[in-house]
Chain A
Amino acid sequence: ILDDPDLKDIDPTVLKHCHAAAAMCILEAGKQKADISAISTCLEDCKLDKERIEQFCTEYQKNKDALEILLGSIGRSPLHITDVSWRLDYQIKSNQLHKTYQPSYLVTLNVENSDSGSHPDVSFSCTMEQLQDLVGKLKDAAKSLERATQM
């Protein structure tokens, strides 16, 4: 904003104050999920004229959804699973034990950390029975979700 040629003639301190004030107003409105009438009333109290209020509200409406998504994504949460990869092996032997003949799965859960953007993936091995147990439990969770959405 400080580089915008249209705003060249205004005192930069005033510009900063305006920008900060506008940003505060928008963020607070977004946080509270305020509707247009509430915003209008608030701006009227601040002695803004009708035309400016209308312009502000139109722009706000246009960007409201994006704003809410942005605000909703701020905050701490446990590591978030984004994807899963798996590998199926058939174990034949090791140097300690021959003729093992067992299928074995290697599962990697791709995990995203909202704070640092790092990817501390979780990997583990499991037998077929264990994978069945895992999938069974996940399906229980999904069924429970479905029931909850129907309530």
Chain B
Amino acid sequence: KLNIGVDTIQHGVEGLSYLLTESSKLMISEIDFQDSIHVLGFSDELNKLLLQLYLDNRKEIRSILSELAPKLPSYHSLEWRLDVQLASRSLRQQIKPAVTIKLHLNQNEDQTTQVLQTDPSTLLHLIQQLEQALGEMKTNHCRRIVRNIK
């Protein structure tokens, strides 16, 4: 339909995707983008189109690229259940409270599930430790670093 050779189209598509991927990866500003493509000698109209294409698709391209970085299994969700053990084969008449937890994790498109258990005092300890972890981002130290790395 376009009356151009297959090779030319392939090169065109590759060039375009390279341009957009690199620009999105580096998160370059509009001005930098415009300066970069100016060198190619296209018409002003084409340059405007390319800039618009970049800005429209930048976010999506970046989210796809973020999937490629090395990662550990990531948290998906957690379910919990309260149990009380009343007896076992080796001991009758028990009252042993326990919290059973189902941890859902994502690893590269697969969802895995782990069933774990803990006792009430460990549960409180976990909560305390993880609340401390959450609080860290609000400390002066972290705030200063976030402010200064831009």
Q: Which residues of A contact B (CB under 8 A)?
A: 30-33, 68, 71-72, 74-75, 77-84, 86, 88, 90, 92, 94-101, 103, 105-107, 109, 111, 122-126, 128, 130-135, 137-142, 144-145, 148-149
Q: How far is the CB of A141 from chain B (nearest CB, A)?
A: 4
CA distance A79 to B114 in the complex (A): 9
Please report the number of residue pairs spanning A and B whose Cβ atoms sit closer than 8 angstroms: 164
Contact status A78-B129, CB under 8 Å: no
- On chain A, the residues within 8 Å of B39 by CB distance are none
Of residues 97 through 146 on chain B, the ones whose CB sits less than 8 Å from some CB of chain A are: 97-101, 103, 105, 114-120, 122-127, 129-131, 133-134, 136-137, 142, 145-146
Q: How far is the CB of B46 from chain A (nearest CB, A)?
A: 26
Contact status B78-A103, CB under 8 Å: no
Q: How far is the CB of A27 from chain B (nearest CB, A)?
A: 8
Contact status B80-A78, CB under 8 Å: no
Closest B residue, CB atoms, query A138: B127
Size category of the binding interface on chain B? 35 or more
- On chain A, the residues within 8 Å of B77 by CB distance are 133
Q: How far is the CB of A113 from chain B (nearest CB, A)?
A: 11
Given A32-B92, A74-B88, decide whether A128 and B105 contact each other with a Cβ distance below 8 A.
Answer: no
Q: Which residues of B contact A (CB under 8 A)?
A: 25-27, 62, 65-66, 68-75, 77-80, 82, 88-94, 96-101, 103, 105, 114-120, 122-127, 129-131, 133-134, 136-137, 142, 145-146, 149-150
Contact of A98 among B25, B103, B129 (CB under 8 A): B25
Given A80-B117, A142-B123, decide whether A107 and B130 contact each other with a Cβ distance below 8 A.
Answer: yes
Further 12 A-B residue pairs, CB within 8 A, beyond A98-B27, A137-B79: A31-B90, A31-B92, A71-B91, A74-B91, A78-B115, A80-B117, A80-B119, A86-B133, A90-B142, A96-B68, A103-B137, A148-B97
Given A128-B137, A133-B77, decide whether A79 and B25 contact each other with a Cβ distance below 8 A.
Answer: no
